[in-house]
């Protein structure tokens, strides 16, 4: 269940409808809490760990774009966003990469299937409406995508092994418990590449992990790797 706590009636009037959304879509025995004090909710797990998605705050690194942006491995893997290419992020998560890719110039549509994460993202995106957030399983969403709808795509599934995270450790524990380990990730990679949906499709992997499918090339960071398809 999810308990909502509103600091005032105005916030309840604005965000109360999310209770219905979660009742319909989020089935969990665990007791989560969502606290509204301002424009951005804080989500708590039963142990009191919390996360908050604030695209404009400085809590998490939502502003990676610095002068050396093109040296970022993800920017190298996806190519330039300068032409305003349409990019589909198949694993929105906390939106860190989506916001970075938007900052690079891509027109970003991001898909998230976990209802609690989606709710937090969707509310956060009111601060940055240029990034479109969609509630769906990407496997299902891809069925409605045709070649040409998006130029490039990006996929960053959860992985059971340790990998570097933009989140403090407690938040990462919460997040992993909440969304699981995306065991179906390989199906996304096969579907997207077999249907040739994108000019370029980039998949983030821990450096030492096997590829889901042999890529055309890879860009390596210190502990992660971007596999590139469709070159
Ligand atoms: C490692 S996190 C992504 C982190 C994200 N790149 C960021 O910068 O915050 C993986 C996220 O993708 C979501 N996800 C994984 N597979 C998905 C799928 N098939 N459809 C939709 N969302 C998916 C998970 O629920 C989780 O929130």
Of 105, 88, 92, whose CA–CA distance to 199 is shortest? 88
Cβ atoms 23, 121 nearer than 8 A: no
Q: Quick one: pLDDT at residue 183?
A: 87
Task: Report the number of distinct structural domains present in the chain.
Answer: 1
Residue 43 to residue 33: CA distance in whole angstroms? 6
> Ligand 1 in contact with 200 (CB < 6 A)?
no
Does ligand 1 have an atom closer than 6 angstroms to the CB of 172? no
CB 150 within 8 A of CB 200: no
Find the 217 Cα to ligand 1 centroid distance in Å: 23
Instruction: Give domain status of residue 11, yes or no.
Output: no
Name the nearest CA neighbour of 54 among 167, 173, 134. 167
User: Which atom of ligand 1 sits closest to the CA of residue 92?
Assistant: 5
How many other C-beta atoms can be found within 10 angstroms of the C-beta atom of residue 17?
A: 9
Range of the domain at 177: 53-229
pTM for the predicted model, two decimal places: 0.94
Span from the CA of 95 to the centroid of ligand 1 (angstroms): 9
> Does 48 map to a domain?
no
Residue nearest to atom 11 of ligand 1 (CA): 93
182 C-alpha to center of ligand 1: Å?
8
23, part of any domain: no
H and E: helices and strands count for the chain: 8, 11
In a domain, 224, yes or no: yes
Phi, then psi, of 148 in degrees rounded to 5: 100, -20
Residues 6+ positions from 175 with CB-CB distance below 8 Å? 51, 93, 94, 117, 167
In degrees rounded to 5, what are phi and psi of residue 36? Answer: -105, 115
Concatenate the DSSP letters of all residues of 61-96 into one string: ------TTGGGSHHHHHH---TT--EEEES--TTSH
User: What local confidence, expressed as pLDDT, does residue 67 receive?
Assistant: 53
Residue 116 DSSP SS3: helix
| Ligand 1 mutation pick, 90, 91, 96, 143, max ligand atoms within 8 A of CB | 91
For position 154, which CATH number holds?
3.40.50.150
Cβ contacts of residue 226 below 8 Å, gap of 6+?
73, 74, 76, 77, 202, 203, 204, 205, 218, 219, 220
pLDDT tens for the 231 residues of the chain, in order: 999 999 999 999 999 999 999 999 999 999 999 999 988 999 999 999 999 999 887 655 666 665 566 678 999 999 877 788 999 999 999 999 999 999 889 999 999 999 999 999 999 999 999 999 999 999 999 999 999 999 999 999 997 655 566 666 788 888 888 998 888 999 999 999 999 999 999 999 999 999 999 999 999 988 899 999 996
Nearest-atom number in ligand 1 for the CA of 117 is 27
Give residue 158 CA to ligand 1 midpoint distance, Å. 7
Distance 112 CA to ligand 1 centre (A): 6
* pLDDT for 122: 98
Q: Where are the alpha helices (DSSP H) in 105-229?
A: 115-124, 138-143, 169-179, 185-194
- On whether residue 208 sits in a domain, the answer given is yes
pLDDT score recorded for residue 82? 77
Nearest residue (CA) to ligand 1, atom 3 = 93
93 Cβ closer than 6 Å to some ligand 1 atom: yes
What is the helix, strand, coil percentage profile of the chain, to 5? 30, 25, 45
- 26 within some domain: no
21 DSSP assignment: H
87 in any annotated domain: yes
Structural domain contains residue 135: yes
């Amino acid at each position: 269940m999810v308990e909502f706590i509103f600091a005032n009636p105005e916030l309840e009037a604005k965000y109360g409808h999310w209770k219905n959304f979660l009742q319909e879509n989020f089935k969990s025995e665990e007791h989560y809490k969502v606290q509204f004090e301002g424009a951005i909710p804080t989500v708590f797990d039963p142990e009191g760990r919390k996360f908050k998605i604030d695209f404009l705050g400085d809590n998490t690194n939502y502003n990676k774009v610095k002068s050396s942006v093109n040296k970022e491995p993800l920017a190298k893997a996806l190519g330039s966003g300068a032409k305003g290419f349409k990019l589909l992020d198949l694993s929105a998560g906390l939106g860190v990469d989506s916001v970075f890719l938007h900052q690079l110039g891509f027109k970003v549509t991001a898909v998230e299937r976990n209802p609690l994460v989606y709710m937090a993202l969707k509310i956060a995106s009111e601060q940055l409406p240029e990034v479109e957030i969609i509630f769906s399983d990407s496997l299902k969403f891809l069925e409605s995508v045709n070649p040409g709808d998006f130029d490039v795509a990006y996929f960053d599934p959860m992985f059971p092994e340790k990998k570097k995270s933009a989140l403090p450790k407690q938040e990462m524990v919460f997040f992993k418990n909440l969304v699981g380990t995306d065991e179906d990730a390989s199906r996304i990679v096969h579907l997207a590449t077999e249907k040739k949906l994108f000019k370029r499709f980039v998949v983030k992997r821990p450096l030492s992990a096997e590829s889901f499918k042999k890529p055309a090339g890879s860009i390596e960071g210190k502990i992660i790797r971007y596999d590139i398809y469709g070159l």
